[in-house]
Structure 1
Amino acid sequence: MEEKKEMEEEKEKICKRCKKSYTASSNTSSSCRFHPSFFVCRRHDDQKRYYELKPDDQPDAAKFYDCCGAEDPEAFGCTTSFHVSYDDD
């Protein structure tokens, strides 16, 4: 019984947030780096408020992560936490 539990813990899983593989024994509170919000396209004219795009706005008025404001879609995640598996409920 104990052996089965150990095997499950060392089984590699894929994190649904950062898409990296990990094992239960290597999963720490800083293992996963991700953006908790979406990459959005909105106008933010005063740098403090975000506005939804209107129909006549340019589609590239502003593109950024809603959580941290990073404008590069490949930007390093702004939040760290434990990995979360697709198998976890």
Structure 2
Amino acid sequence: MEKKESWKICKRCKETYDPSSNTSSSCRFHPSFFVCRRHDDQKRYYELGPNDPPYAAKFYDCCGAEDPEASGCTTNFHVSYDDD
């Protein structure tokens, strides 16, 4: 195992990782933003806060998860801030 000095921080999930053990399932993240707006699917219901307008919904645009701390819906390789 490499020394921790060579480890990197993933810009997707913010985890520290060892580049030598980076695989296509190492990083779990949401490829889209957490948004607050009406969802295109009118069949879904969202829990609104007391100060939210009646049309507002808060969710990840990629998967519809309503919890901002929800585990990512996509896996891929970690991407370092050093990578271009």
**Structure 1, gaps ≥5 residues long:** 1-6, 49-56
Does the C-alpha gap of structure 1 residues 21 and 38 become closer, same or farther in structure 2, counting only changes over 3 Å?
same
Higher-Rg member (1/2): 1
CA-based RMSD of the aligned residues comes to: 2.3
Aligned mates of 1:59, 1:15 — CA distance in 2:
37
Contact 1:41 1:59 in 2 (8 A): no
Aligned mates of 1:20, 1:42 — CA distance in 2:
29
Give the ranges of 4+ consecutive aligned residues of structure 1 lying more than 2 Å apart after TM superposition. Answer: none
SS in 2 for 1:40: strand
Per the alignment, residue 49 of structure 2 pairs with none
Alpha-carbon shift at residue 14 of structure 1 (Å) = 0.1
Per the alignment, residue 52 of structure 1 pairs with none
2:9 aligned to 8, 14, 18, which one? 14
TM-score norm. by structure 2 comes to: 0.77
Higher relative contact order (CA 8 A, sep 6+): 2
Q: What is the total number of aligned residue pairs between the two structures?
A: 73
1:23 aligned to 8, 18, 21, which one? 18
TM-score norm. by structure 1 comes to: 0.73
Per the alignment, residue 37 of structure 1 pairs with 32
Alpha-carbon shift at residue 47 of structure 1 (Å) = 3.3
Aligned mates of 2:54, 2:6 — CA distance in 1:
44
